[in-house]
A and B are shown apart, each in its own frame.
Chain A
């Protein structure tokens, strides 16, 4: 043993002090530490460079636009008039519609998987949710374009005719009571949102399922022993326990909905005007702006698109961070130790 003995039991004046820990690393360990550290620095550098490039490019456009960037509707960076008010509204509205449609389905499905499903079905359903998350968005996009949109037009029309006292369902551009207005209801923020919801469901569902699954079995059994029904258990134990994680899952879904590009670009009738009317058959989101406008963007327009992308990035980052904190808090500690 190279180490000197730290205490000698036979010594009468034994002082109970902590052992000095000496770490001796081999050459391989040093190489390992430095290699991984170098790679980590490289990764960090790359990611910071990307962020920095976005920020740098975007900031030149932000300088040009000034505060108008947040208050302007039109997007004409070539002439220096551009802003994200309408775009941001559209982005958020699409995300809200997606959440309104997806959250009830995702949460009930998660509850079914954790509380109702027979054991054999549970694994199958879990796989289904994960599979749904893995299906590429372009597949949802063509499905939404060819299948959902025609089916949603009557729904939009019904909402517009019967709920037009709500400003969000109001229609300004046309008289909805007229005949043959199908085309006016297509390509709207509402339809885009419903299509995006198919992509939000799996994310929201898998996070909620995980959190619901961690509800303490003791308390559930206690509730059952006290005569609670299944719904009673869910209401009294599962939902309160999983609330944080549930909200976190919803926010993660929101993050996905905000950044969704292709499905929206396939459906939306692009117009950057500021409007809360989701049925009005036009609208825009930041990601669809980028994918539709990058081709004709000169240097200045690209920096303006970067600024819009930055705005989207910041929004998604904020949402994801809050979600991450909520989900992390709801999980019961780290993994088990041996």
Chain B
């Protein structure tokens, strides 16, 4: 900080200092003053009414979208004017900016809530129906009688199998590659890192196209669940590698050095210090990778083929999956299939939500921080190790 202005010292003829400074109040940054709320509410009502006057008469707008935008603009204007009159220009710009920023947050939350709420309202009831997890599409068609059982069991099975294949293929490889980059290092690790970074940019549909052209057609393997799993793992491996590397980097170097200084080898250090420290982060990385691929539609669409019935074997024959199921059935003229597509959407969302909550629960702790039970055990161990004071 460079202060260039000369400091004015109070001279002998300076006015006497103010008797008492005004009482200081604590600035609460994250709270809104009640009179601000009042002004905002007033401006909102006024803006809505003002827009009603303007709307459709003077301005060339129509529809509720037009009304909302006009109302919001007039709200901002009136809020600015009101605050300007009450306080000053700086405060007015602050309040308006605050209003705009809060609106942005509200819009975002509103979008999430609308998307999830809409899907749940449309599909939750259908998903709860027992058929959903027990029946397949094999016996249902446009002319089927009402009682025919139809569900998405085949899609649920396919989703989990394909995700399983993707996890089995990509997680060990990804995690070990990340360990190599972070724990072993060297110039070659930089090359791996650059390529992995580059591969995260691969669009999912291109990964699907690769598997379609190479595995499905050139190798003559045909559509199958394995192909979908491969496509997903192409998508998942860079994600897991990168996330794992970030997690490993968060493990304090001091821990590694302490372990090495105590004479442990590299592998011992990794196995007994680094990985346990980073465990929650690792699990989170894997879970988030799963959440990312579970809803991938494009690669599955290209290579899974899409069966109407149950196919437990991912290695041969066409297989379905929840995203594929939605993609095929959302446009169906049959109400039953349509509502099933929404039900599949709910199922997919639930899987994502469960994975997400798991990731939050496990990954909520910082690296090194451990659960209550473990902490208690650790203190017990520490106590036993402390030499007894001898008197």
Answer whether A and B touch in the complex at a CB cut-off of 8 Å.
yes
Seen from chain A, the residues whose Cβ lies within 8 Å of a Cβ on chain B are: 25-26, 28-29, 31-33, 35-37, 39-40, 42-44, 46-48, 50-51, 53-54, 57, 104-109, 111-113, 115-119, 125, 127-132, 134-143, 145, 147, 151, 154-155, 158, 161-162, 198, 201, 205, 224, 229-232, 234, 255, 258-259, 261-262, 266, 287, 290-291, 294, 302, 305-306, 309-310, 312-313, 316-317, 319-321, 324, 334-338
From residue 353 to 369 of chain B, which have CB atoms closer than 8 A to chain A? 353, 355-356, 360
- Whether B349 contacts A139 by the Cβ 8 Å rule is yes
Q: 0/1 per residue, B185-202, Cβ < 8 Å to A?
A: 000110110011111111
Measured between C-beta atoms, what is the minimum distance from A246 to chain B in Å?
Answer: 14
A104–B199 alpha-carbon span in the complex (Å): 29
Chain B residues, CB < 8 A from A112: 101-102, 104-105
Measured between C-beta atoms, what is the minimum distance from B222 to chain A in Å?
Answer: 14
Number of B residues near A (Cβ < 8 Å) is: 105
Chain B residues, CB < 8 A from A230: 29, 94, 97-98
Q: 0/1 per residue, B139-155, Cβ < 8 Å to A?
A: 00000000000000000
14 contacts between A and B (CB under 8 A): A37-B184, A39-B177, A46-B173, A109-B105, A109-B107, A112-B105, A116-B101, A125-B109, A142-B342, A205-B108, A287-B206, A320-B200, A321-B201, A335-B249
Chain A residues, CB < 8 A from B115: 135, 139-140, 143, 198
- Whether B206 contacts A290 by the Cβ 8 Å rule is yes
- Whether B326 contacts A138 by the Cβ 8 Å rule is yes
Chain A residues, CB < 8 A from B342: 142
Chain B residues, CB < 8 A from A224: 27, 29
Chain A residues, CB < 8 A from B208: 290
- Whether A313 contacts B205 by the Cβ 8 Å rule is no
Chain B residues, CB < 8 A from A140: 115
- Whether B90 contacts A229 by the Cβ 8 Å rule is yes
Chain A residues, CB < 8 A from B133: none
Measured between C-beta atoms, what is the minimum distance from A103 to chain B in Å?
Answer: 10
B267's contact among A32, A42, A205, A291, by CB below 8 Å, is which? A32
Chain A residues, CB < 8 A from B180: 36-37, 39-40
Known: A231-B94, A309-B209. 15 other contacts (CB 8 A): A32-B266, A37-B180, A51-B199, A109-B109, A116-B30, A116-B101, A136-B294, A138-B297, A141-B297, A142-B342, A155-B63, A162-B60, A201-B111, A302-B213, A320-B201
- Whether A128 contacts B108 by the Cβ 8 Å rule is yes
B318 contacts the other chain (CB 8 A): no
Measured between C-beta atoms, what is the minimum distance from A122 to chain B in Å?
Answer: 9
Main secondary structure of the interface of A (DSSP, over half): helix
Q: 0/1 per residue, B321-351, Cβ < 8 Å to A?
A: 0010011001000000000011001001100
B161 contacts the other chain (CB 8 A): no
B203's contact among A117, A135, A259, by CB below 8 Å, is which? A259
A43–B245 alpha-carbon span in the complex (Å): 14
B319 contacts the other chain (CB 8 A): no
A25–B330 alpha-carbon span in the complex (Å): 60
B97's contact among A25, A118, A234, by CB below 8 Å, is which? A234
- Whether B62 contacts A28 by the Cβ 8 Å rule is no
Chain A residues, CB < 8 A from B356: 130-131, 134
Chain A residues, CB < 8 A from B200: 320
B80 contacts the other chain (CB 8 A): no
A277–B267 alpha-carbon span in the complex (Å): 60
Measured between C-beta atoms, what is the minimum distance from A189 to chain B in Å?
Answer: 18
- Whether B323 contacts A47 by the Cβ 8 Å rule is no
- Whether A108 contacts B104 by the Cβ 8 Å rule is yes
B125 contacts the other chain (CB 8 A): no
Chain B residues, CB < 8 A from A141: 297
Chain A residues, CB < 8 A from B217: 302
If A135-B116, A136-B295 touch, whether A40 touches B188 (CB-CB below 8 Å) is yes
If A138-B297, A231-B97 touch, whether A158 touches B61 (CB-CB below 8 Å) is yes
Chain A residues, CB < 8 A from B184: 33, 36-37
Chain A residues, CB < 8 A from B84: none
Measured between C-beta atoms, what is the minimum distance from B21 to chain A in Å?
Answer: 14
- Whether B101 contacts A33 by the Cβ 8 Å rule is no
A37–B255 alpha-carbon span in the complex (Å): 23
- Whether B265 contacts A25 by the Cβ 8 Å rule is yes
B9 contacts the other chain (CB 8 A): no
Chain B residue with minimal CB distance to A48?
B195
Chain A residues, CB < 8 A from B195: 44, 47-48, 51
- Whether A40 contacts B302 by the Cβ 8 Å rule is no
Chain A residues, CB < 8 A from B90: 229, 232
B270 contacts the other chain (CB 8 A): yes
Q: Which of A31, A115, A142 has the most CB of B within 10 A?
A: A142
